[in-house]
């Protein structure tokens, strides 16, 4: 028995190594493909800044490092579906058939929701947020924004908002598994609203309430959507009120 268990553990470690190697190769291919696209992607990121702002670099290797950073981020984005697939397939043998179906069904939704969050941040949130950040105090001092700092801030914001848009999927899966109920979600609505504004303050690197509202508002909408989805997928037997016991 111990030998079988040892072989089983060895098999899992070998599978983990295999999937890590495949993931590393996929990431490497994504980065290589991204190198010719890096300047175009940088232009796309730069287009969110006000037109009168000129980015600078103050270190000899800063521009090259930023170029490599953009290629890395793009490579991760290109290989992300495959990386998620490898992660899911590694844990799939430990799941029940029903849990596997939920997991397989959620894989494309994870990518779509993340892409929706990135698009929301790029087209709606970033223009007013960057305008506020880059023009605040410009009458006191002239802004000289380094290209490295600009790219890092934008990528963090895009990533944060993309992850926030995964809220409906996470709550729906928890409701389907019976971990949370629509009733509890509805009762926790006021705390969810408070958490939305806290997240908005954390994600938004400004003190401008308008920009914070741009993040808090979709979080609240996503939470309300999660309640509605939870009602659809929550086990029906669990929704029935428990019968009163006679004393």
pLDDT of residue 238: 53
| pLDDT at residue 127, as a whole number | 87
What pLDDT was estimated at residue 237?
Answer: 60
Rounded to a whole number of angstroms, the CA Rg of the chain reads 23
Check residues 153 and 241 and name the one with the higher pLDDT.
153
Question: Residue 33: is its pLDDT beyond 90?
Answer: yes
Work out the pLDDT band at 214, boundaries 50, 70, 90.
confident
| More confident: 137 or 14 | 14
Task: Check residue 246 and give its pLDDT.
Answer: 43
Domain spans of the chain?
7-120+143-162, 166-237
> pLDDT at residue 4 above 60?
no
Phi (first) and psi of residue 237, to 5 degrees: -60, -30
Asked whether residue 243 carries a pLDDT value surpassing 60, the answer given is: no
On the question of pLDDT at 8 being above 80, the answer is no
Phi/psi of residue 205, each to 5°? Answer: -85, 30
Asked if the model's pLDDT at residue 115 lies above 50, the reply is: yes
Task: List the end-to-end C-alpha distance of the chain, in Å, as a whole number.
Answer: 52
More confident residue, 100 or 55: 55
How far apart CA 163 and CA 68 sit, in angstroms, is 24
Q: What is the pTM of this model?
A: 0.80
Is the pLDDT score of 242 beyond 50?
no
Find residue 146's DSSP bridge partners. 56
**Residue 189, number of CB atoms within 10 A of its CB:** 13
Q: What is the mean pLDDT of residues 136-161?
A: 86
% of the chain surpassing 90 pLDDT: 38
Rounded CA-CA distance 30/73 in Å is: 9
What is the pLDDT, as a whole number, of residue 113?
A: 92
Regarding predicted confidence, which is higher, 5 or 222?
222
Q: Are 129 and 207 in contact (CB under 8 A)?
A: no
> Per-residue pLDDT tens for 157-190?
999 999 999 999 999 888 887 888 999 999 999 9
């Amino acid at each position: 028995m111990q030998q079988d268990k040892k072989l089983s553990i060895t098999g899992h470690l070998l599978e983990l190594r295999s999937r890590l190697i495949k993931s590393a190769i996929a990431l490497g291919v994504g980065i290589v493909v991204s190198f010719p696209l890096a300047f175009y992607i940088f232009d796309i990121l730069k287009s969110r800044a006000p037109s009168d702002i000129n980015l600078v670099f103050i270190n000899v290797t800063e521009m090259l490092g930023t170029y490599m950073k953009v290629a890395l981020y793009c490579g991760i984005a290109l290989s992300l579906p495959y990386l998620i697939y490898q992660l899911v397939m590694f844990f799939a043998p430990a799941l029940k058939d029903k849990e596997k179906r939920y997991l397989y069904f959620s894989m494309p939704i994870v990518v779509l929701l993340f892409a929706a969050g990135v698009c929301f941040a790029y087209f709606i949130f970033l223009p007013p947020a960057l305008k506020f950040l880059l023009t605040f105090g410009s009458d006191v001092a002239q802004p000289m924004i380094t290209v490295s700092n600009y790219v890092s801030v934008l990528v963090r914001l895009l990533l944060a908002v993309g992850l926030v848009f995964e809220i409906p999927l996470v709550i729906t899966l928890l409701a389907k598994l019976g971990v949370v109920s629509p009733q509890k979600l509805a009762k926790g609505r006021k705390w969810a609203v408070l958490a939305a504004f806290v997240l908005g303050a954390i994600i938004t690197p400004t003190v401008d309430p308008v920009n914070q509202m741009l993040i808090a508002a979709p979080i609240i909408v996503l939470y309300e959507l999660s309640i509605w989805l939870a009602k659809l997928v929550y086990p029906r037997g669990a929704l029935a009120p428990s019968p009163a016991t006679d004393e």
